Structure 1
Amino acid sequence: MPKMKLSDYGFFEGAIAKQIPGKDVKPYSLKTPLFTDYAEKLRFVYLPDGKKAEYNPKEVFDFPRGSALIKTFYYPVDFRKPQKGRRLIETRVLIHKEKGWKAYPYVWNEEQTDAFLEVAGETTEVKYINLEGKKKKHAYAVPNVNQCKGCHNRNENLSPIGPSARQLNSLLEMPSYLEPEARVKYNEGNQLDFWLKVGLVHNLPKSGVYPEISDWQNEDVSLESRARAWLDINCAHCHRLEGPANTSGLFLDIHNTDETSLGILKSPVATGRASGDLKYDIVPGDADASILIKRISSTDPGIMMPELGRKTVHEESVQLLRDWINQMPTR
């Protein structure tokens, strides 16, 4: 049975709102993370003492039974000034049990002293000042237990999405608000080098030959590599052969090299009104004619993609994908 309170797991030292990882808990970050309504995230992995994850060059690492992946979602009061404080919204805990992975959402109380199991999910309102100094207010949805499997689904089994070698092949992102006692828990340098050093993973190749993926915000690399990285983490957990959207024929994982299944001049499969009058998922040179752009630009539940995990439009990624499509040579 899951714990009723996040503090009952013992993942964190002291006041758990400070998110200082405890024994056998290590922080990690993703090079290109999944978008969730502009929420900031703190990620941690717990491995039972003496246990290691198994390296996979393409997929998320195979974590041993008893492992947990912990992800806390929060909003700074002011994104420009993180020292002004933050509001913790939820912490999702994925635990690898004997019969597979289980997902449990924990919602933080108003006092910010603990988070409590909420199997039915919850919708709350969030307020903050964004990086442009604009006041923002919108709904935020905590998924219920069944909705978790809607995204964390591989071959109809619940499965983690983020911590793959390509995503961990980066420097650990250290949250700017961290107090001195928490900073010592965060290690500088390449995350995979660190995981190897402290014995968190089996069979990792030598440093320098790790799998790669782009940081979607890095303007020094190509539009295509940035766009493919964003699609890989935000869409490919469903849009892949082993995912729940496999009947669509649209496969957006970073390893796919087939232009048609990537969506280029591909007709949609049973999208109904979601496709409108548009004919193809991606029309090279014409983002406005591409169903992909229509769907990621919408907040209409009958049109939007992804279907879960957001109430807002990720304006920056929409622009990235528009630029990527518009610069494609016409066919």
Structure 2
Amino acid sequence: MRYLGFLLLLGLFSYQPAPKFPTKLSDYGLFQGKLQDQIPVIGVTPYELISPLFSDYAHKLRFVQLPAGQSVAYNPDSVFQFPVGTRIAKTFYYPIDERKPESGRRIMETRILSHEATGWVALPYIWNEEQTEAYLEVAGGTSLVEFKNMQGKKQQVNYVVPNMNQCKGCHERDGMMTPIGPSARQMNASMRYAHGEENQLDYWSRTNQLTNVPGTRPKFVSYIDEGAPLNERVKAYLDINCAHCHNPKGPAKSSGLFLDYRYYGTTAYGIMKSPVAAGRGSGGLSYDIVAGKPAESILLYRMNSQDPGVMMPEMSRTIIHQEGVALIREWIKSIH
């Protein structure tokens, strides 16, 4: 310590203390009234995604708080580039009965993405049993939750809250953490606000949170919309569930499998593409996607697994997304 002090006096070493973050979710002041009601204060904006990431069937509430007087520049292609000082909150919960929203819900965690001067930081806050407060748990945690789905069947999930380092596994682009969801193509849809329904991009523009918004904007379909074109549903599904890693700047870039929607139809999208160092994750199969043959496609094999050494995505799920598997299986069958 004496040597460190000597270096500090000489100006040869700059000591930067670790940033301090609130230990309780309520300390952020993002919500008014009862914390569990998740009613944002003025200056905190709720938002929704057209095709959200699958997270073991958890439902999500999303909010963003921009620094006072600042806005975001519109861009049509990538996640919005939020200014330093932005906070994004994502609350994960399960309805007690999906058929009866009035029956209540169990909130599992609220994840805060805080844009610091040194970059984005992910902070997991786990809710207590009383559902009155959430506490920072940098090591994450697990909790068993039960709920009834839309078919009235009882479901059990061993819900996993990732630790701070695991969050980086999905939120990394060019070695830096970044948000995944809020983009023009994901938010070009109406949402119910206190004043009524309004397109989210129009609302953000009208309230000076988003600048230079054009009249024509890209738009994803919802991948659960069976009335939408199959290829559009697939592009939306793989983009949000896989492309945050499988892109030229993501953690899985060395695989050469790029599932960003803009690569649809290319060899990099996986059709008749051999895997790169997949190991036992390939299941002994030869290609990422074999046209017309789901059972011979590595992509579907890994989606349909719960083996930690095989399953994809590696994060955000512990169970199989049955509807997602069915969608990709139908799509692969349709490829000629």
RMSD over aligned CA atoms reads 1.1
Q: Does 1:144 find its partner at 2:153?
A: no
**CA–CA distance in structure 2, aligned partners of residues 217 and 187 of structure 1:** 25
For residue 194 of structure 1, the aligned residue among 203, 214, 220 is 203
**1:99 offset after TM fit, Å?**
1.0
**Farther off after superposition, 45-54 or 228-237:** 45-54
**1:220 offset after TM fit, Å?**
2.2
Q: Is the 8 A contact 1:187 1:194 kept in 2?
A: no
Q: Deviations over 1:209-252 (max 9, x none)?
A: 01121211122221111011000000000000010100000000
AA matched with 1:150: G
**Number of residue-to-residue matches in the alignment:** 317
**CA–CA distance in structure 2, aligned partners of residues 119 and 187 of structure 1:** 38
**1:257 offset after TM fit, Å?**
4.0
After superposition, where does 1:1-331 map in structure 2 within 5 Å?
Answer: 1-172=20-191, 184=194, 187-206=196-215, 209-329=216-336
AA matched with 1:27: P
Q: Is the 8 A contact 2:243 2:258 kept in 1?
A: yes
TM-aligned CA distance change 1:165 to 1:69, over 3 Å: same
Q: Deviations over 1:179-233 (max 9, x none)?
A: xxxx62x751211111111111122112xx0112121112222111101100000
**1:259 offset after TM fit, Å?**
2.3
**Farther off after superposition, 253-262 or 156-165:** 253-262
**CA–CA distance in structure 1, aligned partners of residues 283 and 148 of structure 2:** 35
**CA–CA distance in structure 1, aligned partners of residues 104 and 264 of structure 2:** 44
**CA–CA distance in structure 2, aligned partners of residues 36 and 131 of structure 1:** 17
AA matched with 2:197: E
**CA–CA distance in structure 1, aligned partners of residues 202 and 134 of structure 2:** 33
5+ residue gaps, structure 2: 1-19
**Farther off after superposition, 216-225 or 37-46:** 216-225
Structure with greater contact order relative to length (CA < 8 Å, sep ≥ 6): 1
**Farther off after superposition, 65-74 or 53-62:** 53-62
Runs of 4+ in structure 1 deviating by more than 3 angstroms, as ranges, are none
AA matched with 1:159: T
**CA–CA distance in structure 2, aligned partners of residues 105 and 328 of structure 1:** 41
**CA–CA distance in structure 1, aligned partners of residues 305 and 283 of structure 2:** 12
AA matched with 1:255: R
AA matched with 2:45: K
AA matched with 2:201: L
AA matched with 1:204: V
**1:253 offset after TM fit, Å?**
0.3
**1:276 offset after TM fit, Å?**
1.3
Q: Secondary structure at 2:254's aligned position in 1?
A: helix
Q: Deviations over 1:299-321 (max 9, x none)?
A: 11000000011111110011011
5+ residue gaps, structure 1: 175-182
**CA–CA distance in structure 2, aligned partners of residues 30 and 267 of structure 1:** 33
Q: Deviations over 1:261-293 (max 9, x none)?
A: 000000001111111121100011011110000
TM-aligned CA distance change 1:85 to 1:290, over 3 Å: same
Higher Rg of the two aligned structures: 2
Identical positions, percent: 53
Q: Secondary structure at 1:284's aligned position in 2?
A: coil
**1:27 offset after TM fit, Å?**
0.4
Q: Secondary structure at 2:234's aligned position in 1?
A: helix
**1:256 offset after TM fit, Å?**
1.2
Number of the residue aligned with 2:17: none
**1:258 offset after TM fit, Å?**
5.0
**CA–CA distance in structure 2, aligned partners of residues 264 and 28 of structure 1:** 34
AA matched with 2:226: E
**1:171 offset after TM fit, Å?**
1.7
Report the TM-score when normalising by structure 2: 0.93
Q: Deviations over 1:118-163 (max 9, x none)?
A: 0000011110001111001121100000000000000000000000
AA matched with 1:11: L
